[in-house]
Structure 1
Amino acid sequence: MGRAIERVESVCVFCGSSDAADPAYLRAAANLGKALAAADLRLIYGGGGVGLMGACARAAHAAGGRVLGIIPDFLVGREKALESVEHVVVANMHERKMLMFERSDAFVVLPGGVGTLEEVVELLSWRRLELHAKPVVFYNPGGFWRPLFELFQHTVDARLTPPEFMDAWTAVERIEEVTPLLQSARPDSRGAAAKVA
């Protein structure tokens, strides 16, 4: 499922699509978009123009960054597909997630709802199954993702998940920490990007 890379070049961002999100989250998403553009890291995202994903994509595009949106046909209207950036319209959610995975060397998870949860749990499940070793970085402002991490730990404590699973991601509280972590990632022996420090 992976390809050999020398460094992280494309970053998939999973995040919320609600315009009602905390303005601080929207600002952080925009700041990440600018930082990715400044670092010449291509943004791969869900294709919409709403919520955190829209804020991130618009900021990356405005800063001269490369952006690829991937969106299912049935969400083009609902999520207001961002026509100003390169985008691919796919048939369904499964195709969207697979294409996002295949086109990305690393993943960033910003605050989001049930859709973001679905995406990241699948991504981490694939990592647990050793289908990839691409870096996963959570932006965790004020402990936003703490309940999820505690649930994962609960499954470890119940001996349903191996303890090393808890090393499958990195969490940071400042959006400025994300891009340097991605830039420091190195490929592992399988040719997929290894976990960042």
Structure 2
Amino acid sequence: MTESIAKKAVCVYCGSSFGSSKGFSEEARKLGQLLHAMKWKLVYGGGTTGLMGEIAKATMGPEADGYVHGIIPNALVSRERKEESAAEQRDSVSSFNDEIKKSVENHKGLTPLSHEYGETTIVPDMHTRKRMMATESDAFVAMPGGYGTLEEIMECVTWSQLGIHQKPVVLFNTNGFFDGLLQFIQHAIKSGFISEKNGRIIQVATTAEEVIDKIQQYVVPEGRFNLNWSDEHSDGK
């Protein structure tokens, strides 16, 4: 199978940790399994730990015949690390009970690479990573994560508001993880800083199936800025 056969590319931002609820990992796997079944490509941050690893491996499928492109900055890949075997990867990332014992503070951002998780591109910096992820994708989805996940998905929302792209933006609100963010957005709308129409840039899903539906049924909201972004559009955004 070649990459060009993939029907749609979905960029998923999510944590490189598992989080405090086993449900986060389960939903990441469900979404990955749906992407695999639909022959859609996953574009993600290139890690093999936490939710990143779960969705990437699930999207690749049991026969490793899926479409996954991980994009990771050189600084997050250890110089001495060698590519691990499939058996080593299973031992290191498949056991939730072992991983959940590790605190977020102990996570050093080191992400081993393996073909089980698709193709990996190592880039020089975060700016290149984000730009490549954006231009390669047809839609953006955020799952539970930390500062990086929030920053990445909100940048995609801002780009849509400015008219840089017209791609779907979906929050996968697993276990109510994004309830606080959604409350903030409603507060900003009521306070006059976000228009009602731009508030509809973000669509919300609570199941993996709903994520797919929100992408397929996405309607670009009216009222966004109609600015000249010729430089941005020149690279495919």
Q: What interval of TM-score do these two structures reach, taking the shorter chain for normalisation?
A: 0.7 to 0.9
- 2:114 is the alignment partner of 1:83: yes
1:120-135 residue pairs with structure 2 within 5 A? Answer: 120-135=153-168
Measure the CA separation in 2 of the matches of 1:98 and 1:8.
21
8 Å CA contact 2:28, 2:51 repeated in 1: yes
Measure the CA separation in 2 of the matches of 1:160 and 1:178.
27
8 Å CA contact 2:60, 2:66 repeated in 1: yes
Percentage identity across aligned positions?
38
1:162 to 192, 195, 199: 195
Measure the CA separation in 1 of the matches of 2:194 and 2:34.
35
SS at match of 1:163: coil
Q: What residue is the counterpart of 1:3 in the other structure?
A: none
| Structure 1 stretches lacking a partner, 5+ long | 1-6, 193-197
Q: What residue is the counterpart of 2:145 in the other structure?
A: 112
CA offsets 1:65-91 (integer angstroms, 9 cap, x no match): 100000000112333143312111111
8 Å CA contact 1:73, 1:90 repeated in 2: yes
SS at match of 2:18: coil
TM-score (norm 1): 0.85
Greater relative contact order (CA < 8 Å, ≥ 6 in sequence)? 1
Q: Given residue 146 of structure 2, which amino acid in structure 1 is its aligned partner?
A: G
TM-score (norm 2): 0.71
8 Å CA contact 1:108, 1:137 repeated in 2: yes
1:172 to 1:61, Cα distance in 2 relative to 1, 3 A: same
RMSD over aligned CA atoms reads 2.3
1:8 to 1:161, Cα distance in 2 relative to 1, 3 A: farther
Q: What residue is the counterpart of 2:56 in the other structure?
A: 57
Measure the CA separation in 2 of the matches of 1:145 and 1:130.
24
1:145 to 165, 178, 183: 178
The Cα shift of 1:8 comes to 6.4
Measure the CA separation in 1 of the matches of 2:10 and 2:135.
11
The Cα shift of 1:186 comes to 7.6
| Structure 2 stretches lacking a partner, 5+ long | 1-5, 79-108, 227-232
1:155 to 1:129, Cα distance in 2 relative to 1, 3 A: same
Name the stretch that deviates more: 177-186 or 140-149.
177-186
1:129 to 1:187, Cα distance in 2 relative to 1, 3 A: closer
| Structure 1 runs of 4+ with >6 Å offset | none
